[in-house]
């Protein structure tokens, strides 16, 4: 009897994998790929948002700034980190650290994994929209190489605020979208059960976004997803990041900035 061929993963399958609680989070990547990591705290204005962590690190002898969304791996960490939903303070901390990296001529690597920016009234009162917009402006203009790695959920402006880079890498089972499939389904069909169809229509998978030119490279994951083997997944990310940094570091800063500008201006232009 012929063996039934296993069907390819759907967009909704990728969404579920991207949200898997056992998937490696920011602290896992830091522990697995860096030789040292010195966390820097606070935005120097309000507080130290635990949904966004950043600091200086060394990876295979290469010094860099690492920053990214922190969802947490336990209930306590989830609550402290607000499930990776960043407040304005977190984005202002990211900008502060980005400027430090530029000052010390160190490359920046950002790890994106958030359902979106925190939508609460306290965040709005402290200028959430302004903080995201300012972060886009600041990272677009930083005169140092920037590599972005989308590791899980890349949710809307909350993700984009730290996803402006010269090279955008995306893990095989990550997703990246302007809105969640559930949110899209609620708007288009007024029915959250249509989320799988929305996920397909939104073109949020790594393969779709590579075809559209939104990302530059797909980082392969171990069989079954990154949650099955954190060490192997992190090693693949490390190799891709170091390769990207080597390419970017060979460019004169003026050429780097010109290429970044051209990359950003090309977004949304499809044939």
**∠ Cα 151 109 229 (to 5°):** 35
First to last CA, the chain: 45
- Based on its alpha-carbon atoms, the radius of gyration of the chain, rounded to whole angstroms, reads 18
**∠ Cα 126 41 132 (to 5°):** 35
Adjacent-strand bridge partners of 107: none
pLDDT at 4: 47
- pLDDT tens sequence across 170-205: 999 999 999 999 999 999 999 888 999 999 999 999
Number of helices and strands in the chain (H, E): 12, 8
Which CATH number is 11-262 given? 3.90.226.10
pLDDT at 271: 65
C-alpha–C-alpha distance, residues 120 and 118, integer Å? 6
- pLDDT tens sequence across 153-162: 998 899 999 9
Q: What is the pLDDT along the chain (271 residues), one digit of tens a residue?
A: 444 445 578 999 999 999 999 999 999 999 999 999 999 999 998 889 999 999 999 999 999 999 999 998 888 988 998 899 999 999 999 999 999 999 999 999 999 999 999 999 999 999 999 999 999 999 999 999 999 999 999 988 999 999 999 999 999 999 999 999 999 999 999 988 899 999 999 999 999 999 988 999 999 999 989 999 999 999 999 999 999 999 999 999 999 999 999 999 888 776 6
With contact defined as beta carbons under 8 Å apart, do 147 and 169 qualify?
yes
C-alpha–C-alpha distance, residues 124 and 87, integer Å? 9
C-alpha–C-alpha distance, residues 71 and 80, integer Å? 9
């Amino acid at each position: 009897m012929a063996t039934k061929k296993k069907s390819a993963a759907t967009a909704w399958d990728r969404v579920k994998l991207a949200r898997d609680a056992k998937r490696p989070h920011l602290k896992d990547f830091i522990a697995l790929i860096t030789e040292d990591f010195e966390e820097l705290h606070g935005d120097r204005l309000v507080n130290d948002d635990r949904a966004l962590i950043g600091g200086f690190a060394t990876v295979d002898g290469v010094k860099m700034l690492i920053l990214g969304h922190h969802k947490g791996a336990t209930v306590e960490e989830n609550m402290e980190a607000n499930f990776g939903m960043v407040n304005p303070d977190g984005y202002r901390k990211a900008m502060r650290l980005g400027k430090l990296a530029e000052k010390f001529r160190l490359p920046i690597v950002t790890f994106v994994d958030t359902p979106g920016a925190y939508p609460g009234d306290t965040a709005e009162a402290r200028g959430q929209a302004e903080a995201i917009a300012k972060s886009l402006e600041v990272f677009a203009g930083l005169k140092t190489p920037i590599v972005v790695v989308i590791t899980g959920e890349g949710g809307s402006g909350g993700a984009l605020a730290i996803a402006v880079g010269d090279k955008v890498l995306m893990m095989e089972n990550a997703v990246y979208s302007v809105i969640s499939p559930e949110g899209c389904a609620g708007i288009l069909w007024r029915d959250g059960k249509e989320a799988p169809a929305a996920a397909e229509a939104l073109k949020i998978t790594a393969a779709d976004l590579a075809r559209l030119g939104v990302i530059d490279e797909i980082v392969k994951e171990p069989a079954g997803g990154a949650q099955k083997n954190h060490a192997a997944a992190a090693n693949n990310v490390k190799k891709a990041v170091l390769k990207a940094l080597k390419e970017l570091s060979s460019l004169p800063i003026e050429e780097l900035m010109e290429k970044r500008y051209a990359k950003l201006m090309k977004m949304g232009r499809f044939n």
